[in-house]
Amino acid sequence: MDIRIGFGFDSHEFKPGVPLRVGGMTLDHAEGLAGHSDGDVLLHAITDALLGAVAAGDIGSFFPPGDPRWKDADSAIFLNLALEELQNAGYRIVNIDTTLVLAAPKIAPVAGEMRARVADLLSIKMAQVSIKAKTPEGLGLDHVAQCHAVALVERVPEPDELKSMSAVIETQRQLEDVVEDLVTSVHGVPKKRTITPIFDTEDIT
């Protein structure tokens, strides 16, 4: 299996007078995060992790911070671009693991909803997204939010690499054997015993 790993990181300072956007959600907090876009550290870190996994550059390569088109932009746009780059390279997401580092607000109460939102943006299952949070104890970063993200991706098999069962199984007996083996291994159902007659059924008079 062809797999690759990407790592992403982002950091923004808190700023009064702007909404706090994290993971595609607006959180209830006195301050938001300063940034050219909406300052969503979580989506920015995931974007860089996906781009890094396929060596496609970073978020700044596609969305320069000085470009007025991206002023106050929804970071879901950046994430969608990274997803397209991933798919164009022939890969798909296996899982995303992230860690937010911030003093406040508390992420645990909204982590489930945030995971669901990120999974929806990436068109993957919620079980493929992990969002954790830590406080910056001893780092002197109480007025800053950071995020670390790791993305594991795998290559999507080409159509000619996939073989159908009909191309491998030549007879009905082979198909029955395969099904019987699957039932036995998965459900523990014992294989059927073949009963051999003790007399020749064609010789009954």
- Which pLDDT does position 161 carry in this prediction? 56
Read off the pLDDT of residues 158-178 as tens digits, 9 standing for 90 and up.
876 545 444 555 566 665 665
For the chain, the maximum distance between any two Cα atoms, rounded to a whole number of angstroms, is: 100
Length of the chain measured in residues: 205
List % helix, strand, coil for the chain (3-state, nearest 5): 40, 25, 35
Domain coordinates of the chain in residue numbers? 3-159, 161-200
Residue 66 CB neighbour total at 10 angstroms:
8
Q: What is the pLDDT of residue 165?
A: 47
Question: Alpha-carbon distance 126 to 87, whole Å?
Answer: 19
pTM: predicted TM-score of the whole model, two decimal places: 0.77
The model's pLDDT over 52-102, given as tens digits with 9 standing for 90+, comes to: 999 999 998 899 888 888 887 999 999 999 999 999 999 999 999 999 999
- pLDDT of 105-146, one tens digit each? 999 999 999 999 999 999 999 999 999 999 998 888 889 999
* Residue 62, amino acid: F
Token code pair at residue 87: 């798919």
At 41 the pLDDT is: 97
175 vs 61: CA distance, rounded Å: 52
Residues 14-27 pLDDT 10s:
999 999 999 999 99
Answer CATH for 3-159 from 3.30.1330.50, 3.90.380.10, 3.40.50.970, 3.40.640.10 = 3.30.1330.50
C-beta of residue 49 within 8 angstroms of C-beta of residue 96: yes
